[in-house]
């Protein structure tokens, strides 16, 4: 059965509406899953409508591609650990980028064979290839950094910005030449330069800026889809590309605000120090840092009215989310109110901590965002910081000389007692010493986040009353 | 109005929809949002289908199209399923 162009257009419209409603569904966790199903329906309608249209005539390669890709995608989605979500997302972004490049090149070959090339089309093709290629190689680098295959430290070298600027100008130059002359050589060089540009743009950016970069590449993958839509004069691709592009852009903006930095500063700034050696625990004691045993922390926590736990990237690395849940249960049995405070840039991607806590079965009602929880710290008996650092540094509020001054932080230091689980005195990503550690009400519990929190749970289980 | 301009209209208006809808997303669901938009951007599969399935398509274009279909399919299947997995965790019954 073949459907007409008009029926296909209506199907695409339905599909676009479903995607918009799907995103709308993410307004609340209760409606989010239905949203995802709406998006699946939208995608199914779009694919079926395309296959049934008059333009698709041969199905062999298509079926093979969908089958192989579908199996790979399904296996990955079922097997992936929640802690590896940032890497997975980066990998998937790279696939969209590469697919956009391939579609543009394929379109070029098809149109060239039919003699249908024109300047506007070649301009649109170039845009699709450039955005797609930057998305691809940038995401590959982000994946490498998140997976630990490439150093997460910012890689900086002299003339970096000049190199990027020259690369960008050259890429656009070859694109213009291609659009004017139909030169395949210019097309090839342009494609190659765009791949290099994605690489050189992302390589200088350090690990803790990854929430911004993941969001930004998310945005790029949307623009790549939109550019493909312009090339193919397909409105569905344009609509979806714009939605995804804006989604990523807004997330980047939210992340930047949470660090009090501009997107320009994140992309070109190369924030963070190259290597900082931390003091040993003994050195730290001389500086006026108190260390505490697990028993001390438990002593204050089990009789508290309210305990606020602040998770950070360290919790993800140590996979300590499940022992957090046990700790929460043990404390709740003793009548303690337990809440989790989330800083927007905690972890390696937006919402990273929320997913890990949800994985551990911690109800989302107990997980509170920064602005909402900040007034509550003054009434908390105990704050437990698990692998977070810069996001609880009071210097961001009251020390204008600090590099992180102005960044919104969690007011952990206002609680009666603060316990910080830490492996060493190594400063946070920013390389800034954390003033919270030197406060009178703060004690450091040295050790791995998982070992310490499991120790706390065992202690509580042992002292059951 | 030329087709490219129509496309531009649609693009700009869609940007506005994206802007309004995304600000409403709750911060706790930002990771599922990224995973979902990732799956949705697998919509480039439509482009891949059009390239691969064209009548009288050349072998080179067909092979390029095959890989585009394959990559986009990984995104569509992987993206939706992993989003579903995550959202299921947010929706578990309370004890």
Closest C-alpha to A414, from A438, A390, A389, A381? A381
Q: Are B42 and A62 in contact (CB under 8 A)?
A: no
Whether A390 sits among the annotated catalytic residues: the reply is: yes
The tokens describing A234, both together, are 């397909």
Tens digits of residue pLDDT in B33-54: 999 999 999 999 999 999 999 9
pLDDT above 70 (res B93):
no
Query: ipTM of the assembly?
Result: 0.95
pLDDT along chain A (465 residues), means of 10: 90 97 93 95 97 91 96 95 92 96 95 90 94 96 90 76 92 95 95 95 84 93 94 94 95 90 75 45 63 89 93 91 94 94 91 93 92 94 91 88 86 93 74 83 90 92 72
- Determine if residue A372 is left, alpha or beta; phi over 0 gives left, psi from -120 to 50 gives alpha, anything else beta: alpha
Shortest alpha-carbon distance between residue A346 and chain B (Å) = 12
Shortest alpha-carbon distance between residue B59 and chain A (Å) = 10
Shortest alpha-carbon distance between residue B2 and chain A (Å) = 11
Which value, in Å, is the radius of gyration of the alpha carbons in chain B?
18
Closest C-alpha to A85, from A152, A144, A137, A146? A146
3-state secondary structure (DSSP) of residue A116:
coil
pLDDT band at B95 (very low <50, low <70, confident <90, very high): very low
Q: Which residues of A are less than 8 Å from B9 in CB distance? A: none
The partner residue sitting opposite B77, judged by closest CB among A74, A89, A96, is A74
Per the residue annotation, which of A114, A209, A390, A440 is the catalytic one? Answer: A390
- Higher per-residue confidence, A379 vs B57: A379
Q: Which residue of A has its CA nearest to B30?
A: A351
The partner residue sitting opposite B21, judged by closest CB among A20, A235, A349, is A20
CA pair distance A142, A1, nearest whole angstrom: 44
Q: Inspect the interface and report whether the beta carbons of A32 and B85 lie closer than 8 Å.
A: no
Q: Are B29 and A29 in contact (CB under 8 A)?
A: yes
Q: Which residues of B are less than 8 Å from A243 in CB distance? A: 14, 17-18, 21-22, 37, 40
């Amino acid at each position: 059965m073949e459907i007409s162009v008009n029926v296909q257009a209506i199907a695409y419209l339905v599909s676009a509406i479903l995607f918009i409603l799907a995103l709308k569904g993410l307004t609340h966790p209760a409606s989010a899953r239905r949203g995802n199903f709406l998006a699946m329906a939208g995608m199914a309608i779009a694919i079926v409508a395309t296959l049934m249209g008059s333009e698709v005539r041969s199905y062999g390669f298509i079926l093979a591609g969908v089958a192989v890709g579908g199996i790979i995608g399904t296996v990955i989605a079922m097997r992936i650990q929640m802690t590896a979500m940032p890497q997975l997302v980066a990998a998937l972004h790279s696939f969209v980028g590469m697919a956009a490049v391939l579609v543009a090149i394929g379109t070029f070959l098809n149109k060239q064979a039919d003699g249908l090339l024109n300047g506007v089309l070649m301009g649109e093709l170039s845009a699709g290839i450039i955005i797609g290629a930057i998305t691809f190689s940038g995401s590959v680098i982000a994946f490498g950094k998140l997976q630990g295959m490439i150093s997460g430290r910012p890689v900086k070298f002299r003339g970096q910005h000049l190199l990027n600027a020259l690369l960008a100008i050259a890429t656009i130059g070859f694109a213009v030449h291609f659009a004017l002359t139909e030169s395949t050589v210019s097309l090839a060089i342009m494609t190659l330069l765009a791949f290099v540009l994605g690489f050189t743009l992302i390589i200088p950016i350090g690990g803790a800026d990854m929430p911004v970069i993941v969001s930004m590449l998310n945005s790029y993958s949307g623009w790549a889809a939109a550019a493909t839509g312009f090339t193919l004069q397909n409105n569905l691709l344009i609509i979806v590309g714009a939605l995804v592009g804006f989604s990523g852009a807004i997330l980047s903006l939210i992340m930047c605000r949470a660090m009090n930095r501009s997107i320009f500063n994140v992309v070109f700034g190369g924030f963070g120090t190259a290597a900082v050696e931390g003091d040993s625990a003994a050195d730290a004691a001389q500086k006026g840092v108190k260390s505490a045993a697990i028993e001390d922390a438990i002593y204050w926590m089990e009789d508290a009215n309210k305990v606020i736990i602040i998770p950070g990237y360290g919790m993800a690395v140590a996979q300590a989310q499940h022992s957090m849940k046990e700790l929460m249960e043990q404390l709740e049995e003793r009548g303690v109110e337990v809440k989790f405070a989330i800083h927007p840039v905690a972890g390696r991607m937006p919402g990273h901590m929320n997913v890990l806590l949800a994985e551990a079965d911690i109800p989302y009602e107990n997980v509170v965002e920064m602005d909402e929880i900040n007034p509550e710290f003054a009434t908390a008996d105990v704050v437990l910081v698990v692998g977070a650092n810069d996001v609880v540094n009071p210097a961001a509020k009251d020390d204008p000389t600090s590099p992180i001054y102005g960044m919104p932080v969690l007011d952990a230091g206002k609680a009666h007692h603060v316990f910080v689980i830490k492996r060493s005195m190594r400063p946070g990503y920013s390389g800034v010493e954390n003033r919270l550690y030197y406060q009178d009400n703060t004690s450091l519990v040295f050790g791995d986040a998982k070992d310490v929190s499991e120790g706390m749970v065992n202690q509580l289980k042992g002292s059951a009353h | 109005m030329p087709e490219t301009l129509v496309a531009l209209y649609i693009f700009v208006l869609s940007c506005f929809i994206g802007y309004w809808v995304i600000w409403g997303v709750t911060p706790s669901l930002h990771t599922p949002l990224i995973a979902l938009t990732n799956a949705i951007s697998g919509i480039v599969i439509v482009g891949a289908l059009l390239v691969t399935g064209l009548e009288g398509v050349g072998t080179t274009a067909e092979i390029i199209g095959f890989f585009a279909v394959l990559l986009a399919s990984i995104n569509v299947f992987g993206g939706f399923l992993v989003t579903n997995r995550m959202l299921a965790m947010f929706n578990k019954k309370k004890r």
